[in-house]
A and B are shown apart, each in its own frame.
Chain A
């Protein structure tokens, strides 16, 4: 059959054996062929699958040969010669003659040179492999490539690091339903790729990550090798140029056990002393004006009580004196617990003698009551996070000395989560701002963005996230944010993310405008994506890529955890020795 011989080369030469082998079909003329998309009929005995990469050449009058590259987004097979659905039975019974044809829909990715002309019907199409595939997907032009996963054919897929490290863009946003979308796992895989993939050069050692563990305890074992990692999965890491290893330098922080006298970390399954407890002292709370972080809607101008919040916060900062054990005194009154503090605040805003100074001028009783009600509402959620009367309070202040800092907030109430994330992020942001240097980079991983930066309303933490999204690129803070539904997250946070990743989506969600960057076929695929499959969109490529990422090389639960990494490769850990002693949890002493 003549369709198998791709002899229509522009220079008229005979096709080589390898060209004949990579030939898959011809551009069809029964569907429109455009510079953006076109259809290819597959020759007999040739096949393409979704995500395969193809190439073809076209010569336009008066121009050089244009090479056109594309990616398969849909394939259809049908009977030609059949007119009715039931004809299939006649055809299978050998009564009606018909032919089965397959055609693949191609979205064009690249024109080289950039002359946007449609491929002509009849032109031979070949599978793009090796260098040609890299070219089709723009991998050849990426100066620094970050391994982002593997294609279905186990070929590496890369992200252009320039669009992640702030050079030309920054931030990653990951969407997907929980459970099957494996958003956090993919975020940690990206970090792993950054840290072990030699993409950042010497800077990799100083690059750090701050991860908020919002759900489960998956992230509390990052420093342990995954004993369940199969050999072929380890091989996939090596294929990407990565090391199938756990994170080398990790420090875990967890809130103290609620109601306990001493601040013992509430560590759940991780009880080997690797986790430290974190909290803020009353002195920090007053001097750093953390009060507004207790109120979700404090920036909302419609709420009158917000004025009181700012007044009180200013008063607390001005009038308090810090005690060495983390407590504070106001005019000789020593306060050592959060309850002491809010009782004190209540007395001040309700007492007519001090009301003017603390609540502000001309504040109605109703407004004061609203403030007090909300303040006391926060009590049971945060009282263990804001405390005094402790030894060496500085040891419970979250630091970022390790390469990876995991802050576990999964068993905190939403209000407390917002408080912790807000305060930690603000601190981080301020430090970066003060240092004035974008490098080394700091990656912040935060799931459930819809809670912290919801589309509607305003709050201190949303303001900080917006700051990170809009200015983080120049400050060297890169947000790897995730959420179930991008439609519920502040638009500006998402709009500022150069890299967008989508896992399994709910079909109603997949239809929303926020996923407009996905072509229709990919939207449909997002609704059936398996765990470990992601769709990645990056500015370099006009078409999102479907990729898989290997099983985590680090443990995600106690049963998988191998022996501590330290004993395996202590010498190569650039962080070895830093705070070694400090890793012992307080309760062990």
Chain B
């Protein structure tokens, strides 16, 4: 390495890693079409027209927590692993005030098919069959359930929005994480904070580095197991390296290109004001304030983990086969 000119401290707290692990991302295996909005020769940071900020921005997010790992022994003597987990999802509406309009908590016993319901003082753990027995499968099942709950929460929040087209255009729904499975929600965009793979060809990555806060890249179409429009956008508050404060957003390909572009512009004009300050969030600026607030509230609603653990142990110890809901 040549002489060090500058040292920049990563804005994210070390335990969260970094939003980007290396400057040159591994190329993804995806098919990427960078010319859906502009020709690749014309790729440049896009300035967003003023006045596009919607009057209502909704954010949806979910949290999950493994409360305990359990072992289930069947009548045949085989013992299988499972997890008792709590998960929650909710929606924050920002329309001048930030209000948590939906917050749902669920608890589940993820394990082999035919697992019983476990009733505890902290609530009932509904049986949910996982595809496999290893922790990864169980965890995957939990993740899927949480996404389902997020969709449920977003749908319930969407029902409260006016049905006219003008109303729908004036509301943006930001879903934390990939948009997959949520494409059907009106006005929804996916919001991805970390970058594991590079979607853009090497020649276009300098455009990302050149983004100023509030600017976005042109749209590009990505096709893996599913397809979506993507764009990068830079939030204010990042400092130092070329990818600081950069997030990737996704919009459904079911939208006409014009609408996808509209949502992209909307996101670039709306999201910068929600970017967190470094001292207030360990994942600033990418972890937006409303999402941070919602996550804290959802985690709180999961209940005290030590207490939930105790309730689980009590109920498990008093377990009577065939008699569901042995109350502790």
Contacts and interface: CB of A to CB of B under 8 A. Distances in A.
A97 B297 contact: yes
A95 B274 contact: yes
Contact of B98 (A83, A84, A86, A98): A98
B34 to A, nearest CB: 33
Contacts of B293: 81, 96-98
Interface string B79-117: 000000000000010111111100000000000000000
B294 interface: yes
B265 to A, nearest CB: 20
Contact of B96 (A81, A83, A94): A94
A83 to B, nearest CB: 7
In which size bucket is the chain A interface?
A: 10 to 19
B273 interface: yes
Given A81-B297, A97-B294, A97-B297, A91 B280 contact: no
A90 interface: yes
A147 to B, nearest CB: 48
A91 B92 CA distance: 12
Interface residues of B, number: 19
B309 interface: no
B241 interface: no
Interface string A74-88: 000000010110110
B21 to A, nearest CB: 29
Contacts of B92: 97
A87 B98 contact: no
B289 interface: yes
B290 interface: yes
A273 B245 CA distance: 90
Given A81-B293, A81-B297, A97 B280 contact: no
A98 B99 CA distance: 7
Given A83-B280, A87-B280, A91-B98, A96 B297 contact: no
Classify the interface of chain A: helix, strand, loop or mixed. loop
B296 interface: yes
B272 to A, nearest CB: 11
Interface in B287-312: 289-290, 292-294, 296-297
B280 A84 contact: yes
Contact of B290 (A83, A84, A96): A96
Contacts of A96: 98, 289-290, 292-293
Contact of B273 (A86, A87, A95, A98): A95
B3 to A, nearest CB: 39
A95 B99 CA distance: 9
Contact of A95 (B94, B296, B297): B94
A318 B99 CA distance: 93
A98 B290 CA distance: 10
A90 B273 CA distance: 10
Of B98, B100, B280, which is in contact with the most chain A CB atoms at under 10 Å from its CB?
B98
Nearest to B59: A97
Given A81-B296, A81-B297, A95 B280 contact: no
Nearest to B297: A81
Contacts of A94: 94-98
Interface in A433-460: none
Contacts of A87: 280
Interface in A78-131: 81, 83-84, 86-87, 90-91, 93-98
Contacts of B290: 95-97
Interface in B253-302: 273-274, 279-280, 289-290, 292-294, 296-297
A97 B99 contact: yes
Contacts of A97: 92, 98-100, 290, 293-294, 297
Nearest to B98: A97
Contacts of A90: 98, 289
Contacts of B95: 94
A93 B100 CA distance: 15
Of B279, B290, B293, which is in contact with the most chain A CB atoms at under 10 Å from its CB?
B293
Interface of A: 81, 83-84, 86-87, 90-91, 93-98
Interface of B: 92, 94-100, 273-274, 279-280, 289-290, 292-294, 296-297
11 contacts: A84-B279, A95-B98, A95-B274, A95-B289, A96-B98, A96-B292, A97-B92, A97-B98, A97-B100, A97-B290, A97-B293
Which 6 pairs across A and B sit closest by C-beta, in order of nearness?
A97-B98, A97-B293, A95-B289, A96-B289, A94-B96, A96-B293
Given A81-B293, A97-B297, 17 more contacts: A81-B296, A84-B279, A86-B280, A87-B280, A91-B98, A94-B95, A94-B97, A94-B98, A95-B274, A95-B289, A95-B290, A97-B92, A97-B98, A97-B99, A97-B100, A97-B294, A98-B98
